[in-house]
Structure 1
Amino acid sequence: MSKKLKSLLQIIIFLGIGLLLIWLVTKDLTVQQKEDIKTAFRNAHYWLVLPAMLIGIASHWVRAVRWKLLIKPLGYEPRTLNTFFAVMVGYLVNLGVPRLGEVSRCGVLARYEKIPADKLVGTMIAERAVDLVCLTILMIVTVLVQIDVVGQFFNTRIWLPLQQKFANAGTTQLFVLAVALAIAILLVYFLFKRFARSKAAITVRALARGVLEGILSIGKMERKGWFLFHTLLIWALYFSMLYCGFYTLDETSHLGFNAALAVLGFGSIGMIVTQGGIGAYQILVQQTLVLYGIHATTGYAFGWILWLAQTLLVMVLGFVSLVLLPVLNRK
């Protein structure tokens, strides 16, 4: 299968999942419910989206600065503007092809700052691992501080389905999976031993070393406290952007800290599971807001407003970055 065909299939599958989720939510809406969603869109205070978007820009800038802290132990110090542009190009690519954005931003920065791309991929993996830990901590805190509200939702909608999925797998299926994994590892080991001196094997080993060096850069940082500060600042800005978004609708303007914490956590999961978060993000935001007494149609409209604001921001900054990168790096 060619790379172009594989990329096209990825786009179709992930976009199809998002569109399927949208259809599943909207297919049974009554005429009144559809009218309620339209009313929510008509009455929204869209001018309040602007400060939320400015906060979003700040979060992307801080992410670029944090990435520089991971790159510095490798012996390189890229310009902050180029790093920021690379981050935005990566987000833009992710809207079209899931997970390709992370590789794309490494390629962009490697091109304009002359840094080995394999090492940048390693720093990107380390960065994503830190974000995953932060999201996990956020979810745990969200459940613990409001166990009566969110705990039941987390248990019935996430934990129990996962348990059921593993329970249905059965011992035989798990054994077959383990055997297949062991065979795959042994096959890769055999091929590397058999063709250890081949050009392809040497290239793969060099790539693996570069990626590993990038991952380990997180332990070589001299200013680990500064890295932690930027990590916390990124998530604080995400929280502030969402909290500001509550004021775009009168029905959500009274929601406080706990609701924002829950929407941030569950909404982040929605952004991960489908292409650009389309479909999943709106549903998870809707279901979360229902826990706080917000009508389902209003919650769905609010999810779309948030998603559209974030997506528009990424598209504008991404395309601007593509234009400005060659202009500002003529030399």
Structure 2
Amino acid sequence: MPKALKNILKFLAFLSIGLFMIWLAVKDMTPEQFQDVKRAFLSGNYWLVVPAFIIGIGSHLSRALRWKILIATQGHRPGTLNTFFAVMVGYLVNMGVPRLGEIARCGVLANYEKIPADKLIGTMIAERALDLVCLMLVFLLCLVLQLDLVTGYLSTEVWPSLQTKLANADAGQWLIILAIAAAVIGIIIFLFKRFAASKAAIKVRALMRGVWDGFSSIGKMDRRNLGWFIFHTVCIWFQYLAMLYVGFLCLPATRELGFTAALTVLVLGSVAMIVSPGGIGVYPFLIQKTLLLYNIPETTGVAFGWIIWGAQTLLICILGLLSFIWLPIHNKKS
């Protein structure tokens, strides 16, 4: 299959997930609820978008500086502006096809800084693996800080429903459940055996080696660079959190929410960005459902989700397009 067609199909597949989530969020809404959503939008203090944008730019700059430190372990020292521009172009491309942006930013920096692309891809893989580890740590922190909320939700919403279904299941239903479980396990074992010798498995092993090489390069940093690397990693995630907290201040109904709620939104929002192009549809839907845990009305959750998604998307579009335009101009001057 041609690569261009494959990317188009991938884009359409991810986009369809986002559109489905939009439909899922609004399909049961009454005209009165649509009016509530409209009122929530109109009640927003949109001047707070300005500090949110400044924080967002800071997070992107920290990401560029952290990547620059990682690239330096490979013996190359790209310019700060070129690195920042490459990061923003990558984000912009990700709005169209998730994960393609990582390749794009490596290509941009390789072109303008004359750095071997394979070296950059190795650092990019390590950076993304580190982001995954950070996301897991943030998730664990979120659970620890809100243990009462999590256990309360499980005990009142999940466990009683599960108990009822298990208690009402007859022998025939249990047999069906066991048969399905056995079939799933069998399919997984079969696919694993088939997959182990496939080209995809070879690519995965190569990817894991790249991740390992990238992480090992972090260990080779001197104390000063390692300190700055950790500093920028903390800055990235703290600024993401701060952006969401400022977002809470936009709407009267969410102003009382604190950093723990912002942590939950950050975790689920990060997952949503992977599922569809730029998180369209999925991000607002997950945020809407998350805010129900904090007794925020569903209609307010819809408005808040779209406000945050819209602000983030607008910032990426502006910075991405400006970076795309300014890259050749900046390098011509250089």
TM-score by length of 2: 0.86
**Structure 1 residues 260, 65: closer, same or farther in 2, change over 3 A?**
same
**Structure 1 residues 84, 75: closer, same or farther in 2, change over 3 A?**
same
Distance in 2 between residues matched to 1:101 and 1:95, nearest whole Å: 8
Structure 2 partner of 1:170 = 184
Structure 2 partner of 1:249 = 251
Paired residue total: 309
**Structure 1 residues 271, 187: closer, same or farther in 2, change over 3 A?**
closer
2:306 matches 1:292: no
CA contact (8 A) 1:60 1:87 kept: yes
Structure 2 partner of 1:275 = 277
CA contact (8 A) 1:119 1:210 kept: no
Distance in 1 between residues matched to 2:152 and 2:133, nearest whole Å: 22
State the 1:40 CA deviation: 0.9
Structure 1 partner of 2:124 = 124
State the 1:257 CA deviation: 1.9
**Structure 1 residues 169, 316: closer, same or farther in 2, change over 3 A?**
farther
Partner SS state of residue 233, structure 2: helix
Matched ranges for 1:48-63 at <5 A: 48-63=48-63
CA contact (8 A) 2:71 2:120 kept: yes
Matched ranges for 1:95-106 at <5 A: 95-106=95-106
2:194 matches 1:180: yes
Structure 2 partner of 1:149 = 149
2:148 matches 1:134: no
Give the root-mean-square deviation of aligned CA atoms.
Answer: 2.6
Structure 1 partner of 2:13 = 13
Q: Determine what percentage of the aligned residue pairs are the same residue.
A: 55
Structure 2 partner of 1:46 = 46
Distance in 2 between residues matched to 1:69 and 1:99, nearest whole Å: 22
**Structure 1 residues 302, 220: closer, same or farther in 2, change over 3 A?**
same
Give the letter aligned to residue 23 of structure 2: W
Unaligned runs of 5+ in 1: 190-204
**Structure 1 residues 299, 168: closer, same or farther in 2, change over 3 A?**
farther
**Structure 1 residues 49, 268: closer, same or farther in 2, change over 3 A?**
same
Structure 1 partner of 2:73 = 73
Distance in 1 between residues matched to 2:210 and 2:187, nearest whole Å: 36
Give the letter aligned to residue 243 of structure 1: Y
Moved more, 275-284 or 301-310: 275-284
State the 1:73 CA deviation: 1.2
State the 1:260 CA deviation: 1.3
- The Cα offsets for residues 231-286 of structure 1, whole Å up to 9 and x where unpaired, read as 01110111111101111101111111221111111221111222211111111111
Moved more, 127-136 or 282-291: 282-291
State the 1:183 CA deviation: 3.2
State the 1:150 CA deviation: 3.4
Moved more, 320-329 or 258-267: 258-267
Partner SS state of residue 329, structure 1: helix
2:93 matches 1:93: yes
Structure 1 partner of 2:327 = 325
- The Cα offsets for residues 187-235 of structure 1, whole Å up to 9 and x where unpaired, read as 969xxxxxxxxxxxxxxx9x99988755542232222222111101110
State the 1:167 CA deviation: 4.5
**Structure 1 residues 210, 149: closer, same or farther in 2, change over 3 A?**
closer
**Structure 1 residues 152, 87: closer, same or farther in 2, change over 3 A?**
farther
Distance in 2 between residues matched to 1:153 and 1:187, nearest whole Å: 39
Unaligned runs of 5+ in 2: 163-176
Structure 2 partner of 1:202 = none
